[in-house]
Structure 1
Amino acid sequence: MKRILFMVLLLTIYYKIQAQGPPITADKPIMLGGKSFTTKTLTEIRNTERGTSVYVPVMLHYLPTANSLIALHVPLIYYDLKDQNGTDFADVKILGKYQFYRKDATSKTFRMVAKTLQTLPTGKELDLMELSTGKYSGYYGIVSGYETLKYGISSEIGYNWMPDGSLDEVRAKLGFGLPLLKPQYPNKQLNLYFEYTSSWLHEREWYQLLYAQGVQYALKNITFDLALQLPLAQQITENRALNYSVFLGTRYTF
């Protein structure tokens, strides 16, 4: 009897964490456990009035503890713009996260994470926001999330500082996750994501409100992502306006 109760407790904890996988264009404060690695990629095909770019990062995430994460993102970019085209390395990024608040209850959890993303000036100076600028920037934000077996809500607010450029940005994100399958073991998930991104570049007087509709399929420790992002509102130089972005991703945890 004690053994059965122990197994039920383990499965309850497992389902609490695995009800939804990580968001696609947003972020999530839930971490899977210390001493674990995740390799992932999230290709973005971005089409603007200036042209098309294809951003392909290779990412390695490591959790030293259950409440901390460090990661390295090494990307390539293909670009076909009105003023130039080619294939180059993009800006390398170093990610750090620390979970400083956690409150669990039966079949639900709320968590908060401090986050920093350091972008190194390794890419070509294409002036492609978040992809390849050839300039250093540091992002600092807070990610929070509330998750149950029926839905998940995540939010993020932060500031991206670029001392030698004009892409300083106030960024806010809001995401909703809806699992379509009941929790099961081995892990099998099919999730819908509804994600909003607000971006204000005050030095350029640019503003964008974007919406991404995504679907995610997870089987055991492998996840596949697909999302389409469209602008809801834009106040931006006409020849730089976003038409759409397509995201294709996969991740493997071990």
Structure 2
Amino acid sequence: MCRSRILASTGWTISLVFIASAAATAAPQTFNTALPVAEGEFVFREQFLYRKASGDPSRADREVEVLGAISVLGYGMTGDFAGFAVLPYLDKELGLTTASGARITRSTSGIGDARLFGRYTVYRDDAPGRTFRIAPFAGIELPTGDDDDSDGQGSLPATLQLGSGSWDPFGGVVATYQTLDYQIDAQASYKLNTEANGFEFGDEARLDASLQYRLWPRELGPGVPGFLYGVLEGNLLYRGKNEIGGIDDRDSGGTSLFLSPSLQYVTKRWIVEAIVQVPLVQDLNGDALEDDFTVRAGFRLNF
């Protein structure tokens, strides 16, 4: 059985990735930003992902592959408050060796759990050529994905289901410091997972940081169609142990540290981007499955 939560480092890290203003700017790709969504404007972001996890210390030799598309729509309700809706489509596949030595594959695809959240700017310090913002956010993950899928082997494990079946609140705070040459973002967040169908994913806490640096053009001036940014992000993620029937699953949860290099091309109204997330440290419990890498690519539109 796959013991790690397949969505934890894939789709939902993307769900808090959002930024908008009167013009598009560089932004983190694996978490949130404190820069505002302009009042009365929409922002749409689409990210496509591929995740592979095959570091299985058990005899089952598990291998997980996830393909996904995460759609995010944001709206600036006021100059300080923005609301967001997130909907993922996921294709998940688990290969493993049974006790008899047979190699089997189990898979599912479809809409996952949606998220709704709001973000409010509580502090701003603007000056010529720079800005500093702090914005808390809070929301809930809705049980919109199927949580009772099965195949020829029977009911799929909870970690392979498209949805959790539970209503899970989350929140945090993000800070952003932006200049004409670079931008720094940092975030702390927590997600409280609740029980459904006799299963409860472990709570998740994370710390994130991102540096976006303008690579081209080095000198600002008129007539430039867009800007190329180099991005480096770090993500520290802690997951508590899952519970099955009220009993801790010793082969789940732990601490992971990821480093993610990226490129973004930014114009006034749209952005294209790509990022590779690589684990540096994976201190996991028991036989929890280790990540190999995650690749994301996508675009963002302001309108």
- Counterparts of 1:19-98 in structure 2 under 5 Å? 20-49=25-54, 50-82=63-95, 84-98=106-120
- Counterparts of 1:49-198 in structure 2 under 5 Å? 49=54, 50-82=63-95, 84-125=106-147, 126-127=158-159, 132-164=163-195, 165-180=200-215, 181=217, 182-183=219-220, 188-198=226-236
Maintained 8 Å contact 1:20/1:178: no
1:64 CA displacement: 0.8
Q: 2:297 aligns with which of 242, 248, 253?
A: 248
Alpha-carbon distance in structure 2 between the residues aligned to 1:19 and 1:42:
16
* Identical-residue share of aligned pairs (%): 22
Maintained 8 Å contact 2:51/2:65: yes
Alpha-carbon distance in structure 2 between the residues aligned to 1:222 and 1:19:
6
Which is richer in helix?
Answer: 1
1:223 CA displacement: 0.6
Which is richer in strand?
Answer: 1
Maintained 8 Å contact 2:32/2:187: yes
Alpha-carbon distance in structure 1 between the residues aligned to 2:22 and 2:269:
13
- The amino acid of 1:77's aligned partner reads L
Query: Structure 1: 5+ residue runs without aligned partners?
Result: 1-15
- The amino acid of 1:31's aligned partner reads P
Across the aligned residues of Structure 1 and Structure 2, the Cα RMSD in angstroms comes to: 2.3
Cα distance change on mapping 1:243 and 1:132 into 2, 3 Å: farther
Superposition TM-score, scaled by structure 1 size: 0.86
When Rg is computed on C-alpha atoms for both structures, the one with the higher figure is: 2
Maintained 8 Å contact 1:152/1:177: yes
- The amino acid of 1:69's aligned partner reads A
- The amino acid of 1:247's aligned partner reads R
Cα distance change on mapping 1:184 and 1:54 into 2, 3 Å: farther
- The amino acid of 2:134's aligned partner reads M
- The amino acid of 1:176's aligned partner reads L
- C-alpha deviations, 1:179-224, integer Å up to 9, x for none? 1134456761211111011111133441111111111012220111
Q: Alignment partner of 1:240: what SS?
A: coil
| Range with bigger deviation, 79-88 or 22-31 | 79-88
Maintained 8 Å contact 1:207/1:235: yes
Maintained 8 Å contact 2:24/2:267: no
Query: Structure 2: 5+ residue runs without aligned partners?
Result: 1-20, 55-62, 96-104, 148-157, 242-251
1:55 CA displacement: 1.8
Q: Alignment partner of 2:159: what SS?
A: coil
- Counterparts of 1:3-14 in structure 2 under 5 Å? none
Q: Alignment partner of 1:65: what SS?
A: coil
Show the counterpart of 2:14.
none
Cα distance change on mapping 1:17 and 1:249 into 2, 3 Å: same
- C-alpha deviations, 1:12-55, integer Å up to 9, x for none? xxxx9869422111221011421100111112211112310112
Q: Alignment partner of 2:91: what SS?
A: strand
Maintained 8 Å contact 1:20/1:152: no
Aligned length: 238
Maintained 8 Å contact 1:183/1:189: no
1:166 CA displacement: 2.6
